[in-house]
Homo-oligomer: A and B are copies of this chain.
Amino acid sequence: MPYQQILEDIAREVAPLAGAGKVASYIPELAKVPPGHFGMALITLDGRLYTTGDAHERFSVQSISKVFTLSLVIQHIGERLFERVGKEPSGNPFNSLVQLEYEQGIPRNPFINAGALVVTDELMRHQPDAKAAVLDFVRRLSGTPTIQYDPAVAASERQTGFTNAALANYLKSHRNLYHDVDQVLDAYFHHCSLSMSCVELARSFLFLANHGVLPATGERLLSASQAKRLNAILLSCGFYDEAGEFAFRVGLPGKSGVGGGIAALMPGRWAVAVWSPEINRHGNSVRGMKALELLTTLSGESIF
């Protein structure tokens, strides 16, 4: 079945799931997003684009931005990052302090919030203006110079982000944060506030499906080994405490955000992004997960 038809079938099949989740409410600004949106975009390595629904509308990518920050840090220091952060699935909610305490300030992986704070802190050692660095990187990946942070979302997160402030302070108490707590949080909240469309997100994930090379320019961003390993972390840790469920039902490396977006990829083939703001209690988009499950079923493509 051609991808375009697959996407349209998916859009039809997931429509009845409207209402099965809830728009994220812990950040007031996110709670304003209308729940009904659904968009999906798939781009092949050779540049063919398939879309359905609100694939061109921008939304808050939230934790999906952690993939960009991590890629940049891997560019700078490679696997030395893993002296400061683990790469094991967490088995706990994304903002758990418990795990951090038992593991004495070493976050379990780069995609739980504590891990992403460490990654941000590490990025700041190499790129003091970490906000500009990530924005620039995403614009290059997507070929879209108009991508912006959403200052209202960043400010909203800052005003209510007490759990992240707790994590950052705790990391600091374990000497696993070099910079000032407030500066790290400021960069982190900005990264999360990136506003992108499914098309832009899918395009930004293509280099991970292409063994580290950005297809549009031929530029190598990561070594093949680094790209493979980043994909492994995405598969193991990309979906909070539903990583196993996602591997089981979908079987693709990917990353979700509480804004309702998910970006994923099939190595050697394509990248995909889907957006639907209603999330389940684990923080993952209900229609988004179903859409990707249908994609691998209907296309017969999965890494397993």
Contact A243 B248 (CB under 8 A): no
Q: Is the CB of A170 within 8 A of B181?
A: no
Over the window 219-241 of chain A, the binary record of Cβ atoms lying under 8 Å from chain B Cβ atoms (1 yes, 0 no) is 00000010111011101110001
CB-based nearest B residue for A297: B225
Question: In the complex the two chains form, is A89's CB within 8 Å of B169's CB?
Answer: no
B232 engages A236 (CB within 8 Å)? no
- Does A96 belong to the interface (CB within 8 Å)? yes
Chain B's closest residue to A224 (CB) is: B300
Q: Which residues of A from 123 to 179 have beta carbons under 8 Å from B?
A: 162-163, 165-170, 172-173
* Chain B contacts for A86, CB-based, 8 A: 244
A280 at the interface (CB under 8 A from B): no
Cβ of A290 within 8 Å of any chain B Cβ, yes or no, is no
Interface centre among A231, A233, A244 (most CB of B within 10 A): A244
- Some 6 contacts from A to B, beta carbons below 8 A apart, are A88-B244, A89-B89, A98-B102, A236-B244, A236-B247, A303-B304
Question: 3 tightest A-B contacts by CB?
Answer: A91-B91, A162-B173, A89-B89
